[in-house]
Amino acid sequence: MDVDQAIAKLTRGVPRKPARTLPLAEAHGRILAEPMFSDLSVPPLDNSAMDGFAVRSADLGQPPVRLSVATTTFAGDPPAGPLGPGHAVRIMTGAPMPVAGADAVVRVEDTRVVAPTDGGEQVDILVGAAPGGFVRRAGEDIRPGQQVLPAGALVNAANLGLLASLGVGHVQVVQRPRVAILSTGDELVRPGQQPGPGQIFNSNSFTLLGLVRECGGLPIDCGIVLDDLDATRAALRQAAAADVLITTGGVSMGERDWVRVALEAEGAQLQFWKVAVKPGKPACFGSLGACRIFGLAGNPVSCMVGFYQWVRPVIRLMLGDPRPHLPVVPATVSETICKRPGRAWLERVVLDRDPSGGLLASRTGSQSSGVLSSMSQAHGLLLLHRESTGVAQGERVSVMVLDWSFLHSREPDYGW
Ligand code: AMP
Ligand code: MG
């Protein structure tokens, strides 16, 4: 099976998690479960964009013009009463315009206050004004009834502020899928423990913990299970209470690879496809009750790449993300890569800006599926199609970007 086909099968009919209500501040980083509409105008009233004088623009036909200052309005004050001909209201930025009459603001810089007389305070307006000048209209930003955010929008910093500006105190966000992580292997010990001869540290549980969290899931660490059928069955049964279960290792043809057998014994619906891709094999997919199961390979790189390919889009769909797939961008390859047709290759690459403003992709040395340091360096996966026989240096390729940090710069980079 091709990668595309496998992804299409895995992502078909993935249900979105239900909504839950959160106080606005706690919704940061979550996805909106429903569209948000405004029931008010932003700004709520016509108000001044400048410190100055609210005027009737028709009064200023031939500046300078002397006007009587009726009153002063500060931000937070109620609007002044109707403005009669020959009058002005001293007004501060953000203060409401008078209820009627005034249709423009003249900046304080374009006025001169006249010494007070018995007739009250007066001001000379030195310039003309167009109707609407320096006035922020009620509803200019948002009108009542307007949809401000669609369902599926990320509640980022700007959207937190936008919702706050509408007076929204609570929002409906999509619940985070619970993702159980189970590592299998007699050889594994927890970091911090003393490995015996032949033992290695369990790293997959940690990469998966990070990957699940980074894509918005709620990881549940189910620890390590030994390569024993009964123990594996028991661990799977417990872990399948989650929305998603990821296992690592024990899924190939070894004599102590129990994951498939144990899943079948527990009544899981299993699909085991030979997906024509490297790395990422072997893997099995299925479900146990409502839990979606991903039996990923034990090799640390296969495990990570398998997560990006198979698991991440499913978690994002459960979160209600309308764009559940990672971005793929064009790049130029820095070296010739020879390939045998038959399987797609996902090559770990470092990315850099090339002099023409595009991206340059260079392989991270060894592409062995056990070399986790190559994943640590990689910014992306260079995608070589199943039938490809390789690419020549300088050729254009597609790269799935996992990490954009290479675009950040040490010094300000405005390009001025
Ligand atoms: P397996 O698929 O169980 O045969 O594992 C394949 C390879 O991945 C073996 O070299 C394992 O030692 C290694 N491996 C399996 N699980 C983990 C893990 N959780 N952390 C690090 N390496 C692992
Ligand atoms: Mg194993």
Please tell me whether residue 258 adopts helix, strand or coil conformation: coil
Minimal-distance CA residue to ligand 1 atom 23: 298
Write the pLDDT tens digit of every residue in 9-49: 999 999 999 999 999 999 999 999 999 999 999 999 999 99
**Looking at residue 103, what is its pLDDT?**
97
Ligand 2 centroid vs 304 CA: distance in angstroms?
Answer: 16
Cα distance between residue 363 and residue 358, in whole Å: 17
Determine whether the shortest distance from the Cβ of 247 to ligand 1 is under 6 A.
no
Q: Is the pLDDT of residue 272 over 80?
A: no
82 preceded by a cis bond (ω within 30 of 0)? no
Annotate 276-340 with DSSP letters as a single string: -EESS-S-EEEEETTEEEEEE-SSHHHHHHHIIIIIHHHHHHHTT-S--SPPEEEEEESS-EE--
Ligand 1 centroid vs 200 CA: distance in angstroms?
Answer: 9
Ligand 1 atom, smallest distance to 282 CA: 2
Determine whether the shortest distance from the Cβ of 299 to ligand 1 is under 6 A.
yes
**Looking at residue 117, what is its pLDDT?**
76
Determine whether the shortest distance from the Cβ of 249 to ligand 1 is under 6 A.
yes
**Looking at residue 252, what is its pLDDT?**
87
Determine whether the shortest distance from the Cβ of 191 to ligand 1 is under 6 A.
no
User: Ligand 1: which of 186, 188, 206, 260 to mutate, judged by most atoms within 8 Å of the beta carbon?
Assistant: 188
User: Ligand 1: which of 232, 248, 301 to mutate, judged by most atoms within 8 Å of the beta carbon?
Assistant: 248
Percent of the chain with pLDDT over 90: 90
Determine whether the shortest distance from the Cβ of 38 to ligand 1 is under 6 A.
no
Determine whether the shortest distance from the Cβ of 232 to ligand 1 is under 6 A.
no
Determine whether the shortest distance from the Cβ of 91 to ligand 1 is under 6 A.
no
Whether the CB-CB separation of 63 and 123 falls below 8 Å is answered with no
Whether the CB-CB separation of 59 and 14 falls below 8 Å is answered with no
**Looking at residue 136, what is its pLDDT?**
97
| Span 205-214, average pLDDT | 98
Minimal-distance CA residue to ligand 1 atom 16: 298
Please tell me whether residue 385 adopts helix, strand or coil conformation: coil
Write the pLDDT tens digit of every residue in 321-337: 999 999 999 999 999 99
Determine whether the shortest distance from the Cβ of 295 to ligand 1 is under 6 A.
no
Determine whether the shortest distance from the Cβ of 202 to ligand 1 is under 6 A.
yes
Write the pLDDT tens digit of every residue in 165-186: 899 999 999 999 999 999 999 9
Structure tokens at 265: 């014994």
Instruction: Name the residue type at position 153.
Output: A
Structure tokens at 104: 């423009």
User: Ligand 1: which of 299, 307, 372, 373 to mutate, judged by most atoms within 8 Å of the beta carbon?
Assistant: 299
Phi, psi (degrees; rounded to nearest 5) at 317: -65, -40
| Span 128-149, average pLDDT | 95
